[in-house]
Amino acid sequence: VRLLVVGGDAAGMSAASAARRRTDPDDVEIVAFERGVHTSYSACGLPYFVAGAIDDVDELIARSPAEHRANGIEMHTHHEVVAIDVQAGAVTVRDLDAARERREAFDHLVIATGAAPVRPALPGVDAEGVYGIQSIADGIALRERLDASKPARAVVVGAGYIGLEMAEAMHQRGIDVTVIDSGPQPMSTLDPDMGALVADAMRGLGITLHTDTRAQAFERDERGHVRAIVTERETLPCDVVVLGIGVRPNVELARDAGIEIGVTGGIATTSTMATSAERVWAAGDCVQTHHRVSGRAAFVALGTHANKQGRVAGINATGGAATFRGVVGTAVTKICAYEIGRTGLTEREATEAGLDFVSATIESTTRARYFPDAQPITVKVVAERTSGRLLGGQIIGREGAAKRIDVLATALWAGLDVEEIVEVDLGYAPPFSPVWDPTLIAARRVAVLV
Ligand SMILES: Cc1cc2nc3c(=O)[nH]c(=O)nc-3n(C[C@H](O)[C@H](O)[C@H](O)COP(=O)(O)OP(=O)(O)OC[C@H]3O[C@@H](n4cnc5c(N)ncnc54)[C@H](O)[C@@H]3O)c2cc1C
């Protein structure tokens, strides 16, 4: 049996490794193609590498091509898969060093081509100094630029989590950072009241934030280097620009092969990570998945899902039985001292899903109020009005705040209602939480509204 994997990062190599762990190399040959030079790298760590908190980029590489080979996976880097022939069970792969193409047969195929940052088609977007951050090479290029030319002013386009993390990275390097976003608040994955707290936090840090502001063009200097961003209101001078306006799934290969693409733009997959084509599986940022709370299709490009989906695809592609039962929309991030967590549906998303809801927001502390270093935390909980079923949660606070979202994520996964959450046996001691954990206080507050 021959298993081919397209894409050598989180999803692809999770699939290859899971397949390798459960099969004998004499029975199953596993071959992976990656068009870049790195494998199993952590894009999630790039903001901290750019900030200088991590010095050696190799620390972001969980497994090199050589380690994969030692593990019994035939790993080809600098190899791009350019076509899939589903009927024949073969791919066309281009060796980027030799500039030669060849066909490779498969019995099973895992597509793990990831996603690419959106680059708006604006005048000047190709100016030197305008960066998208997705690959290790992108991170190295940006860091080298910051080290070499010590820019004074940076503009980050997009105030989602990658925009915030990149703003933090450059702010910590002493660069004057402006963040612009076309929406009315940073972090559009939060409700406006919680987004407003993020905006306050950013401004408090000395980061300039322009909401309802759209980039229209990038001005270049005589060297072709970006020198300003033009918005509808003003021209913002800058020496470097980082784009953080989202990602699009890389689905061209799959689409061209006649594999079904879902309504969100990702490859349609089942809970076994099967695609519409027999013996073809897909995982990671290139796929569409199922949102367990809204019941709808979702596109959520996160490493946590890529790893789990890859494992499921690898097991199923080698005759095992595993499932990926969807997402609840959990995510955490931070900007300097401020931590942000979210799970489930916001009020807006609950409305869109046609759900009648109640919500409550509470302020508490991350440790007992009297304990040294107790930090403020704000927790919002959204619940279905009639049943009390938990629909979602949002958290903003200082150290110790964000990961509390996992309590609400677990409750959502289990389908608990807010009355039940109030009863959950969470750990308590003054250095870790108030006697009522902030998540339970919020659940208690919303329970009386149900
Ligand atoms: C700055 C940043 C911070 C992030 N932080 C977090 C975080 O904190 N938490 C979190 O959960 N997620 C985070 N993510 C998201 C996470 O990195 C991705 O979800 C994850 O990398 C997806 O893995 P993947 O394998 O599906 O896709 P990718 O990592 O995109 O890998 C796909 C690979 O396929 C290769 N490829 C594509 N097409 C072909 C082809 N035709 N032939 C051969 N090779 C091909 C690409 O070169 C690439 O290496 C972050 C992402 C970025 C950019």
Specify whether 238 is catalytic.
Answer: no
Atom 8 of ligand 1 has which residue's CA nearest to it?
A: 44
Name the token pair of 396. 């903003």
Name the token pair of 206. 């000395």
Local confidence pLDDT in tens for the 450 residues of the chain: 999 999 999 999 999 999 999 999 999 999 999 999 999 999 999 999 999 999 999 999 999 999 999 999 999 999 999 999 999 999 999 999 999 999 999 999 999 999 999 999 999 999 999 999 999 999 999 999 999 999 999 999 999 999 999 999 999 999 999 999 999 999 999 999 999 999 999 999 999 999 999 999 999 999 999 999 999 999 999 999 999 999 999 999 999 999 999 999 999 999 999 999 999 999 999 999 999 999 999 999 999 999 999 999 999 999 999 999 999 999 999 999 999 999 999 999 999 999 999 999 999 999 999 999 999 999 999 999 999 999 999 999 999 999 999 999 999 999 999 999 999 999 999 999 999 999 999 999 999 999
- β-pairing, 208-210 with 215-220? unpaired
What is the 137 CA–ligand 1 centroid distance (Å)? 12
What ligand 1 atom has the least distance to the C-alpha of 12?
25
Cβ neighbors of 13 (< 8 A, separation 6 or more) are: 5, 32, 39, 40, 63, 68, 73, 310
Cα-based distances in Å from 232 to 160, 211, 425:
21, 12, 52
- Burial class of 170 by CB neighbour count within 10 A (0 to 12, 13 to 18, 19+): buried
pTM: 0.97
Q: Quick check: CB of 73 below 6 Å from ligand 1? A: no
Q: Quick check: CB of 50 below 6 Å from ligand 1? A: no
User: Which of 93, 113, 134, 161 maximizes ligand 1 atoms within 8 Å of its Cβ, making it the mutation to test the pocket?
Assistant: 113
What ligand 1 atom has the least distance to the C-alpha of 43?
17
Nearest Cα to 171, choosing from 245, 247, 246, 240?
A: 240
